[in-house]
A = this chain, B = another copy of it.
Amino acid sequence: MSAPMAEAKPPIDFYFDFISGYGYFASLRIEAIAARHGRRVDWHVMLLGVAVMKVMGLKPLLDTPLKGDYVKRDAARYLRRHGLVLARHVSDPMMDPRPAARAFCWVKRHHAGLAGAFVHAAYDRYWRLGRDLSLTDELLALAGPIGLDEQSLKLGLESEESRADLRDSVEAALARGVFGSPFTIIDGEPFWGSDRLEMADDWLSRDGW
């Protein structure tokens, strides 16, 4: 029903933080869901440290009594179900997500067509391979395989422009009510969490309800 008008439909807004395991899981599926309905994905980086801890005043997920244990188990069974094997566990210490987030902002501004490829490459390297992207060399290793120049990426992620872009991205996400990762907005309708992707798919099928 949506195929003939595919180009005319607005993209799906997908918000993520690289330190979010559920964001990673959803990033692997969101483009297929979007494509089924003739949509593209517009990738937006956010920072859980700002949204959850500063604005909402909550503890990090893994430090929340009872819920922390549940999340470890829930993530593990998601991985088993989907045949994913990761070097990193959700309970491992998290990297500082800001260098990778700034790199993403630079890619999105200067090589918009590679934004999705960068997200996938960064999530894969952080979660599946277990590399720490707050280390410059690990982060720059993302460049070559997706056709970016390492030195340009290095200058870009350290630039005042990418710092400002990240601040703006975090602010814009908060202004739209985004408080978690993943968080998907479809034609103004918000869907929080990887466990709402089925509902988002249903929403797209019916053009809302």
Binding site for B on A (CB under 8 A): 51, 55-59, 64-67, 69-70, 73-74, 77, 80-81, 174, 177-179, 189-190, 192-193, 195-196, 198-199, 202, 209
Nearest B residue (CB) for A71: B192
Question: Can you spell out 16 A-B residue pairs with CB atoms less than 8 angstroms apart?
Answer: A55-B66, A56-B64, A56-B65, A56-B66, A56-B67, A57-B59, A66-B174, A66-B177, A66-B178, A70-B177, A70-B192, A74-B190, A74-B192, A77-B209, A80-B209, A195-B196
A77 neighbours in B (Cβ, 8 Å):
189, 209
Q: How far is the CA of A57 from the CA of B70 in the complex (A)?
A: 16
Q: How far is the CA of A149 from the CA of B191 in the complex (A)?
A: 45
- Known A195-B195, A195-B196; further 8 A-B contacts with Cβ < 8 A: A57-B59, A58-B64, A66-B178, A66-B179, A73-B189, A74-B192, A195-B199, A198-B198
A69 neighbours in B (Cβ, 8 Å):
177
A189 neighbours in B (Cβ, 8 Å):
73, 77
- B51, A55: Cβ atoms closer than 8 Å: no
Across chains A and B, which 8 residue pairs bring their CB atoms closest together, nearest first? A66-B179, A195-B195, A56-B65, A80-B209, A67-B179, A66-B177, A81-B209, A55-B65
Q: How far is the CA of A56 from the CA of B67 in the complex (A)?
A: 8
**Which residue of B56, B65, B74, B80 is within 8 Å of A57 (Cβ)?**
B65
Q: How far is the CA of A51 from the CA of B66 in the complex (A)?
A: 9
